[in-house]
């Protein structure tokens, strides 16, 4: 098992998780529905906690944890904010953005689970993948509530 590959894989997940935290915080700040705001802030908190776990594991593996969100993640947050100020954005559209981000996160976590990782890393990635799936289902359920008029 190549230690550099392990650290790179974990750093990819760390950056992705920090992007998720930023996305959820941005979304929570833009939605009008207070219940959705609260749920998105909680999801951001879960991402923050997960990022802390990944950073600690990267250090234990002898690596240096990446700092901050990715450039693409920061650009996405800025674009969403700009779009909301220029043309307006509904809660439904914000949830669409979150859903798209969570679909990407699921794919990246699935790739990481297929990578050769030490058992401790594999266990953490599997645990966090379950969290990503929960966030996906949460956002999908919130998004569906608009379709079925239950917000």
Could you please report the per-residue DSSP string of 77-104? HHHHHHHHHHT---HHHHHHHHHHHHHH
Q: Name every residue whose Cβ is closer than 8 Å to that of residue 74 and which is 6 or more positions away in sequence.
A: 22, 68
- Please report, for the chain, the start and end positions of each structural domain, with discontinuous segments joined by +: 3-147
pLDDT higher than 80, residue 8: yes
The pLDDT value given to residue 149: 57
Q: Under CATH, what is the fold of the domain 3-147?
A: Ferritin (1.20.1260)
| Residue 66 CA from chain centroid, whole number | 15
Q: What is the mean pLDDT of the chain?
A: 87
For 62-111, write each residue's pLDDT tens digit. Answer: 999 988 665 565 555 555 655 556 556 788 888 998 999 999 999 999 99
Higher pLDDT, 24 or 73: 24
Average pLDDT score over residue span 13-23: 93
The pLDDT value given to residue 44: 97
What's the pTM? 0.86
| Residue 108 CA from chain centroid, whole number | 11
Q: What is the DSSP string of the chain?
A: --HHHHHHHHHHHHHHHHHHHHHHHHHHHH---HHHHHHHHHHHHHHHHHHHHHHHHHHHTT-----S--HHHHHHHHHHHHHHHHT---HHHHHHHHHHHHHHHHHHHHHHHHS---HHHHHHHHHHHHHHHHHHHHHHHHHHHHHTT--
Average pLDDT score over residue span 105-126: 95
The pLDDT value given to residue 109: 97
Measured distance CA(53)–CA(128) in Å, rounded: 9
The candidate with the shortest Cα–Cα distance to 142, out of 19, 32, 20, 21, is 32
For 37-61, write each residue's pLDDT tens digit. Answer: 999 999 999 999 999 999 999 999 9
């Amino acid at each position: 098992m190549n230690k550099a590959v392990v650290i790179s894989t974990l750093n990819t997940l760390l950056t992705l998780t920090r992007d998720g935290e930023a996305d959820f915080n941005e979304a929570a700040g833009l939605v009008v529905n207070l219940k959705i705001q609260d749920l998105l802030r909680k999801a951001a908190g879960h991402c923050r906690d997960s990022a802390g776990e990944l950073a600690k594991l990267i250090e234990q593996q002898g690596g240096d944890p990446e700092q901050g969100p990715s450039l693409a993640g920061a650009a996405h947050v800025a674009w969403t904010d700009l779009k909301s100020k220029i043309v307006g954005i509904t809660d439904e559209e914000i949830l669409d953005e979150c859903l798209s981000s969570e679909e990407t996160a699921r794919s990246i976590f699935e790739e990481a689970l297929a990578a050769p990782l030490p058992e401790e890393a594999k266990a953490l990635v599997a645990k966090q993948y379950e969290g990503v799936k929960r966030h996906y289902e949460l956002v999908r359920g919130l998004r569906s509530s608009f379709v079925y008029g239950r917000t």
